[in-house]
Structure 1
Amino acid sequence: MERDLGVPAPALQRVFFEQHWDEVVHGRAALRDRLAPALAEISPSVTCDAFIDYWFSNDAHIDHCLLSELQALRCEGIEVHLATVQEHERAAYLWDQLDLRSKFDGLHYAAALGCSKPDRAFYRSVEAAVDLTPEAIFFIDDKAVNVAGARDCGWTAALWTGQQTLRALMDQQRWNVS
């Protein structure tokens, strides 16, 4: 980011993320409303559009093996939802530009819910949206704290490291797909 755009990461962290990210990611402030003044201060030649385009395209890492496994579950009639900590524009980018819309049955994200993982309210909001009991949900995440949060809500949950297949994790957790 610093090499490609001239935006120093430590300054961006201090001026934007530390001061504004909580409000943005929880939907209480618009990304551009908070990012534009930060960029004007630390890197005035970089527009919000240029920065956001760079950020979103360079920070979108899809695990295609996992996505394939999830698609197999969908083909069996199991609903697959994406529950993520995103602000509105990035959620829209993932859903529409990366076409995750065609891969998942629903998107549940922090800015729309007003809370984020591992907050109990996040998991309860997702439960309500999908209309499932906690026991009917199998959840994977790449952060142990989020897995613990899901388990605290009664969800069957496993840490995703990419070292095992999704089916192996489901079996290991004794979660029955039927």
Structure 2
Amino acid sequence: MKLLMVDVDGVLVYGRPSDGLPLFTYLERDLGLRLDVLQQAFFKTCCVDIVTGRDALEPKLAEVLGRIAPHLSARTLIDYWFENDSRLDHDLLEDLAALRAGGTRMFLATNQEHMRAAYLMGELGLSSRFDGIFYSAALGYQKPAAEFFRLATERVGISASEIGFIDDVEANIKATRHFGWKAMQWTAGSTLQDAITAFSA
């Protein structure tokens, strides 16, 4: 394996920094908006276009909030969202850093829109820990679409068989294996060594 692709949510990042709870656990208490209302009006209807780069997060969210929570600005909700979904797995990051120091190239491979991708690389400092990021809004396709993996493979310039991948979603693992990447599904208690062993099997 010359290169490792690493998913973000559910692998590197999970929940609120203070306690690891889901990011919107206290949304209604903190911002006066019910989660089920937000999910129905925004996440279930708008997210695919935003995550694949066909629509922009802030203006679309502002439009939705104008209907369901006019007291709340899109920027306020975005800041709350990103800050409460930023708990990093530092043990995994240390293991990844050691692997990278040994010569393995390392990229993020994630379904994200543009603003959060920038937040991950900038505010969370992942740009210093990875050689780059492949994300759905920039590629125009989201995992598990084969085009996501094809474009990422083309851009790193090596054969699919030389790429390892860790992700928590089974459909993404199946798709990458079909494409030719070596892949392991990340679950609670997984370690980087587990993945390296699986890639070598």
TM-score by length of structure 1 reads 0.94
Q: Structure 1 residue aligned with 2:181, among 155, 159, 168?
A: 155
Partner of residue 82, structure 1:
108
* Cα deviation 1:49-71 (Å, max 9, x = unaligned): 11000000101232111111110
Q: Structure 1 residue aligned with 2:140, among 111, 114, 117?
A: 114
Partner of residue 96, structure 2:
70
- Is structure 2 residue 174 aligned with structure 1 residue 143? no
Closer/same/farther in 2, CA of residues 162 and 66 from structure 1, 3 Å limit: farther
- Spell out the pairing of 1:9-20 with structure 2 (5 A cutoff): 9-20=35-46
- Is structure 2 residue 155 aligned with structure 1 residue 165? no
Q: Structure 1 residue aligned with 2:76, among 42, 50, 75?
A: 50
Which protein has greater RCO, CA pairs closer than 8 Å, 6+ apart?
2
Once the two structures are TM-superposed, the CA of residue 32 in structure 1 deviates from its matched residue by: 1.1
**Which letter does structure 2 place at the counterpart of 1:134?**
A
SS of residue paired to 1:97: coil
- Spell out the pairing of 1:26-41 with structure 2 (5 A cutoff): 26-41=52-67
Computed over aligned residues only, the root mean square deviation of the Cα atoms, in angstroms, reads 1.2
- Spell out the pairing of 1:127-142 with structure 2 (5 A cutoff): 127-142=153-168
Once the two structures are TM-superposed, the CA of residue 96 in structure 1 deviates from its matched residue by: 0.6
SS of residue paired to 2:48: helix
Once the two structures are TM-superposed, the CA of residue 162 in structure 1 deviates from its matched residue by: 4.3
Partner of residue 121, structure 2:
95
Once the two structures are TM-superposed, the CA of residue 23 in structure 1 deviates from its matched residue by: 0.8
What are structure 1's unaligned runs of at least 5 residues?
A: none
CA contact (8 A) 2:164 2:199 kept: no
Looking at structure 2, the residues matched to 122 and 107 of structure 1 have their Cα atoms a distance apart, in angstroms, of 12
Partner of residue 8, structure 1:
34
TM-score by length of structure 2 reads 0.84
Identity %: 43
Looking at structure 2, the residues matched to 2 and 125 of structure 1 have their Cα atoms a distance apart, in angstroms, of 40
Once the two structures are TM-superposed, the CA of residue 129 in structure 1 deviates from its matched residue by: 1.4
Once the two structures are TM-superposed, the CA of residue 27 in structure 1 deviates from its matched residue by: 0.3
* Cα deviation 1:94-117 (Å, max 9, x = unaligned): 011111000000101000000011
Give the number of equivalent residue pairs: 175
What are structure 2's unaligned runs of at least 5 residues?
A: 1-26
Looking at structure 1, the residues matched to 145 and 151 of structure 2 have their Cα atoms a distance apart, in angstroms, of 10
Looking at structure 2, the residues matched to 11 and 55 of structure 1 have their Cα atoms a distance apart, in angstroms, of 15
